[in-house]
Amino acid sequence: MSSLIYRSASRAARSALSASRASPFFFEGRAVAAAATTAFRGKFSSLSSFYEKANSKSASQGWIAGALSLLQVSYMLQDQEAHAAELERTFIAIKPDGVQRGLIAEIVSRFERKGYKLVAIKLVVPSKEFAQKHYHDLKERPFFNGLCDFLSSGPVLAMVWEGEGVIKYGRKLIGATDPQKSEPGTIRGDLAVVVGRNIIHGSDGPETAKDEISLWFEPTDLVSYTSNAEKWIYGVN
Ligand code: DAT
Ligand code: MG
């Protein structure tokens, strides 16, 4: 129940703040606001009594109260947005080489063991046109045609994973594009040898994650649920 309330509050905060997302200062602002929220926590009561006093003094001081309450609401929303950001999602795909080599369980388990949550999964053979859409930002590169032929040559395990920082950290789990340069311990570092057969794809940022999830999945394919492990994976002391 509390998680439901938390989710709807987060969603409300997210939509309320969607306009500020366009600002290049949004992420910095959120960090500052998160710090400020921590600093303000426990001080809301004194702040409230201050603006109550200000309010009662005269009507001309009403703007102080208004400004302060706006500030409070803004900090509260920013705080909730920081939590909402924890629920980010990324698109991860095991390419035909990874599927054919029997690496599905190995790769899925690395995301699972980390603490990320699987919210969508399907095995598909994409058409060449679909592969071209997926890799559209690479269409000028000399390897584009071969890459799209390869992606559409067999089954791809398409997935959506959810969790705090999953877009960026998912890329860390995957390792550098060229397995010759991927660190040992990463998926490509441990399990692949050449760039043309690097077994896995992961979205490289929030915008691509959004676009790729909606290219590969219908909204109804994404399963929102609370995992039993979440209370052991997330927490602050
Ligand atoms: P990543 O998959 O790490 O996001 P990318 O988006 O730059 O890397 O490229 C997409 C895929 O294209 C990559 O996984 C493998 C292939 N690729 C990239 N650079 C290549 C190259 N120089 N030669 C052949 N294939 C390449
Ligand atoms: Mg990429």
Q: Per residue in 53-84, pLDDT tens?
A: 444 445 455 555 555 555 555 544 444 444 44
Per the model's pLDDT, the better-predicted residue between 121 and 16 turns out to be: 121
- The Cα–Cα gap between 114 and 45 comes to 39
Report the nearest atom of ligand 1 relative to the CA of 176.
3
pLDDT at 87: 83
204 lines ligand 1 (CB under 6 A): yes
Query: What pLDDT, on the 0 to 100 scale, is given for residue 169?
Result: 98
Q: What is the pLDDT of residue 32?
A: 31
CA of 147 to the centre of ligand 2 (A): 12
User: Quick one: residue 132, left, alpha or beta (phi over 0 = left, psi -120 to 50 = alpha)?
Assistant: alpha
Residue 96 pLDDT:
99
Which has more pLDDT, 221 or 2? 221
Please list all protein residues whose beta carbon sits less than 5 angstroms from ligand 2, which is an ion: 204
- pLDDT, averaged across the chain: 77
What percent of the chain clears pLDDT 90, i.e. is strictly above it? 63
For the annotated catalytic residues, the residue numbers are: 201
Q: How far apart are CA 84 and CA 11, in angstroms?
A: 7
Give the model's pLDDT for residue 68: 54
Task: Kindly tell me if the per-residue pLDDT of 47 is higher than 70.
Answer: no
Per-residue pLDDT reduced to its tens digit, 11-31:
444 433 333 333 333 333 333
198 lines ligand 1 (CB under 6 A): yes
**Ligand 1 pocket test: which of 91, 97, 195 has the largest number of ligand atoms within 8 Å of its C-beta?**
195
* Average pLDDT estimate for 156-162: 99
Over residues 2-13, the mean pLDDT reads 42
- In this structure, the residue with its CA closest to atom 1 of ligand 1 is 177
- Residue among 164, 50, 60 at smallest CA distance from 114: 164
Cα 198 to middle of ligand 2, angstroms: 12
What's the predicted TM-score (pTM) here?
A: 0.70
SS3 of 157, please?
Answer: strand
CB within 8 A of 159, min separation 6: which ones? 91, 92, 93, 94, 108, 111, 118, 120, 121
Q: Which of 97, 107, 147, 191 to mutate to test ligand 1, by most ligand atoms within 8 A of the CB atom?
A: 147
